[in-house]
């Protein structure tokens, strides 16, 4: 049996709370690469089966289907699971649970039992709400027939057909990147399929708590010259980008640097922007005596599987790919990422970096070498602010406290509460935003950049019930730091952000169980670990707790 991690349990509670509170029907769960989306899917499916619901899980990568089906069988012994995937040579639509590859099933939604729930893994691949997919007509015997309309995306055709057959069907999307280049946020706008985010698991929290491997970047000696690279539909033109990236001097410098930086690293994953470009990069790395191969979309299934297997086993040190290994690729051994391409897509940027965040024996961190200026273009991976299509580049400013990039018109930072004074920050266009040197996460920004904060060692913690008329009880937490004290309130019964904050703290402390009331939390608090340090901000005569740090949990 597979046991969910605390943050996975919190995500499931967030999903059911979203539905119970009537916030919408089709929510997203935001879960970073490597956080374990498959066990969460398994739990949702298991719960749905208790209500005799039919469930379809859809994704685009056969490896995710194979892995997901195995996980479901481990979590739900005896479950009837059908797999519909041409790549896996299985086309079974008769079971209560169907794990399907969208490439195979998008035209078969009318031939399967009507599902009550559709779960989409890698939901950022869904391009907006589905439009009408079927034309209906009656034949000479009065039997209703259906014709599938053309011109829709695969997900659009599949979901529109499902909704026409069952308007009450719910959709849950899981993704590390809840935004698209052509749409912005997946849950915003009139054409959005998803209607909100039920729960978000923060990548910085998982790295801090040891569930994911840290990543960091280093400045490279030379980047791609993008001055002559045009854009099409908001993204760099492939032919222009490949030409710029194939500059012989850049190829030589980047290959030398990858080999030098990767000398004490075991598995290198390289992203390129064209087959010819990938071949040049691969040959330049091979010239250093490194075992390297390329992987492109035209490779057959057997050849692809063989090269990936050799790379995962460590027999192949360097794998150079073109638009193949950006999503749904699981190779925990990757400890060096070389991004030899540029993108305007924040989703693609975060997905590429995510290939290096999984834990692996002997792996301390993953180094990211960014030759496409993507870190500077998009900012820190836990602080992405996607652009809304059609609105152009939104002017931004940088919060001096927490390094967040926020719109110029916002006067209170939503991440840390810093209050801006008028004209206190220069306006900078999005493409000029800078991440701190060597940082890919806000938590990696140097403390001198967070000068408004104080870091206080904690000697002990006390707890008490806090009552306020007209409000549910909360748990008052007092941190004792020498002559100073700082308070915060944990609110298991309040709902919304306050309740999410409470569950997030339980996850951080790796608590077993989740007390549902303030009284129950007070009884459990005697077993809670004592933090080593808190991060606070002065607010008049009081200290506001911004972050709590634990050690060796």
Query: Taking the chain (553 residues) in consecutive chunks of 10 residues, what is each chunk's mean pLDDT?
Result: 87 94 93 92 93 92 85 87 88 91 88 92 84 63 59 81 90 92 84 91 91 90 91 88 95 96 95 94 96 88 89 94 80 94 91 93 93 86 74 54 55 57 40 54 61 79 91 93 88 83 86 88 92 83 84 67
Domain spanning 215-448 has what CATH number?
3.40.50.300
Number of residues that this document lists for the chain: 553
**Res 450: pLDDT:** 46
**Res 1: pLDDT:** 62
What does the alpha-carbon distance between residue 518 and residue 503 come to, in Å, rounded to a whole number? 12
The residue assigned the tokens 């710029």 is 244
For the beta carbon of residue 356, count every other beta carbon within 10 angstroms: 28
420 in Cβ contact with 412 (< 8 Å): yes
Q: Is the pTM of this model over 0.75?
A: no
**Torsion angle of C-alpha atoms 277, 369, 439, 373, degrees rounded to 10:** -30
536 in Cβ contact with 486 (< 8 Å): yes
Q: Domain spans of the chain? A: 6-201, 215-448, 453-549
* Domain 6-201, CATH among 3.30.365.10, 2.160.10.10, 3.30.70.980, 3.40.50.300: 3.40.50.300
**Res 518: pLDDT:** 93
**Res 252: pLDDT:** 96
**Res 135: pLDDT:** 60
**Res 433: pLDDT:** 40
DSSP class per residue in 206-254:
HHHTTSS--EEEE--S-----TT--EETTEE-HHHHHHHHT-HHHHHHH
Domains 6-201 and 215-448 share a fold: yes
């Amino acid at each position: 049996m597979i046991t969910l991690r605390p943050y996975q349990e919190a995500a499931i509670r967030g999903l059911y709370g979203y539905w119970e509170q009537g916030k919408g029907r089709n929510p997203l769960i935001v879960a970073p690469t490597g956080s374990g989306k498959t066990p969460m899917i398994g739990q949702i499916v298991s719960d749905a089966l208790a209500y005799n619901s039919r469930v379809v899980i859809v994704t685009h990568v056969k490896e995710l289907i194979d892995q997901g089906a195995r996980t479901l069988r481990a979590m739900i012994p005896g479950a009837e699971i059908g797999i519909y995937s041409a790549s896996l040579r299985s086309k079974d639509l008769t079971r209560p649970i169907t794990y399907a590859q969208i490439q195979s099933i998008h035209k078969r939604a009318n031939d399967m039992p009507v599902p009550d729930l559709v779960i989409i893994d890698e939901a950022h691949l869904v391009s907006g709400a589905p439009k009408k997919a079927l034309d209906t007509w009656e034949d000479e015997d009065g039997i209703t027939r259906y014709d599938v309309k053309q011109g829709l995306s695969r997900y659009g055709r599949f979901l529109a057909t499902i909704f026409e057959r069952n308007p009450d069907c719910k959709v849950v999307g899981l993704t590390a990147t809840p935004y698209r280049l052509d749409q912005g946020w997946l849950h915003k706008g009139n054409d959005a399929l998803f209607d909100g985010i039920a729960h978000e698991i923060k990548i910085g929290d998982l790295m801090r708590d040891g569930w994911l491997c840290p990543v960091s970047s280093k400045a490279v000696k030379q980047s791609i010259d993008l001055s002559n690279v045009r854009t099409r539909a908001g993204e760099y033109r492939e032919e222009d980008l490949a030409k710029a990236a194939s500059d012989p001097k850049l190829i030589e410098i980047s290959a030398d640097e990858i080999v030098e930086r990767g000398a004490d690293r075991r598995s290198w994953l390289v992203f390129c922007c064209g087959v010819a470009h990938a071949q040049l990069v691969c040959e330049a790395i091979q010239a250093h005596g490194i075992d390297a191969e390329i992987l492109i979309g035209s490779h057959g299934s057997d050849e692809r599987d063989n090269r990936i297997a050799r790379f995962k086993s460590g027999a192949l040190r360097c794998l150079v790919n073109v638009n193949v290994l950006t999503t749904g690729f699981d190779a925990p051994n990757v400890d060096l990422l070389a991004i030899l391409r540029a993108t305007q897509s924040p989703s693609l940027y975060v997905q590429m970096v995510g290939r290096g965040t999984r834990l692996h024996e002997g792996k301390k961190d993953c180094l990211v070498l960014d030759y496409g200026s993507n870190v500077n273009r998009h900012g820190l991976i836990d602080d992405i602010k996607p652009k809304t299509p059609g609105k152009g580049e939104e002017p931004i400013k940088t919060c001096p406290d927490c390094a967040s990039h926020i719109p110029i018109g916002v006067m209170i930072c939503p991440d840390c509460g810093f209050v801006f004074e008028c004209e206190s920050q220069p306006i900078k266009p999005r493409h000029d935003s800078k991440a701190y040197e060597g940082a890919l996460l806000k938590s990696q920004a140097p403390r001198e950049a967070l000068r408004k904060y104080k870091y206080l060692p904690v000697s002990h913690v006390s707890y008490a019930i806090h009552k306020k008329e007209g409000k549910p009880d909360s748990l008052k937490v007092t941190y004792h730091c020498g002559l100073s004290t700082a308070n915060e309130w944990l609110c298991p019964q309040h709902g919304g952000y306050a309740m999410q904050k409470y569950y997030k703290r339980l996850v951080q402390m790796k608590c077993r169980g989740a007390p549902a009331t303030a009284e129950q939390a007070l009884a459990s608090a005697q077993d809670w670990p004592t933090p080593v340090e808190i991060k606070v901000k002065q607010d008049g005569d009081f200290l506001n707790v911004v972050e709590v740090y634990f050690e060796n949990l």
